[in-house]
């Protein structure tokens, strides 16, 4: 599985870029940090913290801090392993070609070793800081992201994001388990909020990055089923997300503050999804028709707007849930 990783980008030579003449790595700490996908990790940290705050009971402040740090490290480690495996396609995509491996800033084996070490360390330390259930969930999350999503699903099926999205949905459940030592109905609701959110979030991106994904043979939904089917599914998942987002109001997880804030947040999400559904986002314009070119451009802008808003939405939903729990 690792042999094809050594020669990622023929334009980059590891001897010249990643190593000096003495063979000492020139990779900087910032390069290893970049391997951990810090933007994704920030969302993981926030949702895991929200799960920890929302869970019934309490843990000492030090244990809570250590648990969040371990969850973040585990998420970062899975990101590093993902970059190790996907370095060949990352080098060809405009969105990912500036990552450390395509840029030749380190050898693939260094990224692999780093990812494996941090994975093992984070799981073990989470077990010490919290409990077996939380550490087992973190271990499963890393396994799921690397093996189920990255290796098995990503290059094989347009449902890659739907199923693989579970990996990104586990952090609040892990945070919850770090306090309670179990999995409950409400922690599953937190999981479902991210799980259902993931397809419209990533398919909005895929609609205006269709060419990028097609170039490297990744079967994203717009490339396989077409933009119309993708826009239909974005709309359906957005409505499902609205429905799931109301469950905390009836399960005892949320109260009036969440009701006041979540309704406009969800209406905003559905409204933007509706605009994408009505648009020609992801379509192939008729270059001879100025109207067609304009329609696709407007559609792609609608998809970009949904993608950007979806990030704000998830932070806001979990932020309101956590804030209300802290205020009670």
pLDDT tens figures, 270-279: 999 999 999 9
pLDDT of res. 212: 80
Taking all residues of the chain, what is their mean pLDDT, rounded to a whole number? 88
Say whether both 100 and 157 belong to one domain.
yes
Domain contains 123: yes
Say whether both 41 and 173 belong to one domain.
yes
- Is 15 a residue whose pLDDT tops 60? no
CATH number for 134: 1.10.357.140
pTM as predicted: 0.87
Domain contains 12: no
pLDDT of res. 26: 67
Answer whether 50's CB lies under 8 Å from 177's CB.
no
Domain region containing 238:
185-328
- Is 96 a residue whose pLDDT tops 90? no
Say whether both 152 and 177 belong to one domain.
yes
For the chain, what's the residue count? 328
pLDDT tens figures, 31-86: 999 999 998 899 999 999 999 999 999 899 999 999 999 999 999 999 999 999 99
Say whether both 281 and 205 belong to one domain.
yes
Compute the radius of gyration of the chain from its Cα atoms.
21
pLDDT of res. 94: 83
Q: Which helix (H) or strand (E) holds 272?
A: helix 256-278
Distance CA 313, CA 105 (A): 34
Say whether both 150 and 38 belong to one domain.
yes
Distance CA 221, CA 286 (A): 22
In sequence order, the β-bridge partners of residue 23 are none
Domain-ending residue, one of 124, 154, 183: 183
Q: How many CA atoms lie within 13 A of 238 on its CB side?
A: 29
Model confidence at 295, pLDDT cuts 50, 70, 90, reads low
- Is 228 a residue whose pLDDT tops 70? yes
Say whether both 105 and 72 belong to one domain.
yes
Mean pLDDT for 288-317 is 82
pLDDT of res. 248: 97
Say whether both 326 and 194 belong to one domain.
yes
pLDDT of res. 299: 78
Say whether both 65 and 35 belong to one domain.
yes
């Amino acid at each position: 599985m690792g042999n094809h990783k050594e020669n990622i980008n023929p334009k980059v030579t590891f001897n010249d870029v990643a190593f000096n003449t003495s063979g000492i790595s020139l990779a900087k700490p910032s390069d290893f940090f970049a391997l951990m996908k810090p933007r994704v990790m920030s969302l993981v940290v926030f949702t895991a913290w929200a799960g920890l705050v929302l869970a019934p009971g309490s843990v000492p402040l030090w244990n809570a801090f250590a648990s969040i740090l371990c969850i973040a490290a585990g998420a970062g480690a899975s990101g590093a392993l993902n970059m190790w495996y996907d370095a060949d396609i990352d080098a060809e995509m405009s969105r990912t070609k500036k990552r450390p491996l395509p840029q030749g800033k380190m050898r693939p084996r260094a990224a692999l070793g780093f990812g494996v070490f941090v994975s093992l360390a984070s799981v073990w330390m989470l077990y010490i800081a919290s409990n077996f259930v939380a550490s087992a969930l973190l271990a499963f999350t890393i396994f799921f992201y690397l093996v189920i999503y990255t290796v098995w699903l990503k290059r094989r099926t347009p449902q890659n994001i739907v199923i693989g999205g579970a990996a990104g949905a586990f952090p609040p459940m892990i945070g919850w388990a770090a306090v309670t030592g179990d999995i409950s109905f409400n922690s599953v609701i937190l999981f479902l909020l991210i799980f259902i959110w993931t397809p419209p979030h990533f398919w909005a991106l895929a609609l205006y990055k269709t060419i990028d994904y097609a170039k490297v043979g990744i079967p994203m939904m717009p490339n396989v089923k077409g933009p119309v089917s993708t826009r239909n599914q974005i709309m359906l998942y957005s409505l499902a997300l609205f429905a799931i987002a109301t469950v905390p109001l009836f399960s005892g997880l949320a109260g009036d503050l969440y009701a006041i804030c979540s309704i406009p947040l969800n209406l905003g999400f559905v409204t933007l999804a509706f605009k994408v559904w009505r648009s020609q986002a992801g379509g192939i314009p008729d270059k001879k028709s100025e109207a067609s070119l304009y329609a696709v451009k407007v559609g792609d802008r609608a998809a970009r707007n949904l993608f950007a808003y979806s990030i704000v939405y998830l932070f806001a939903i979990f932020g309101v849930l956590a804030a209300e729990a802290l205020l009670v």
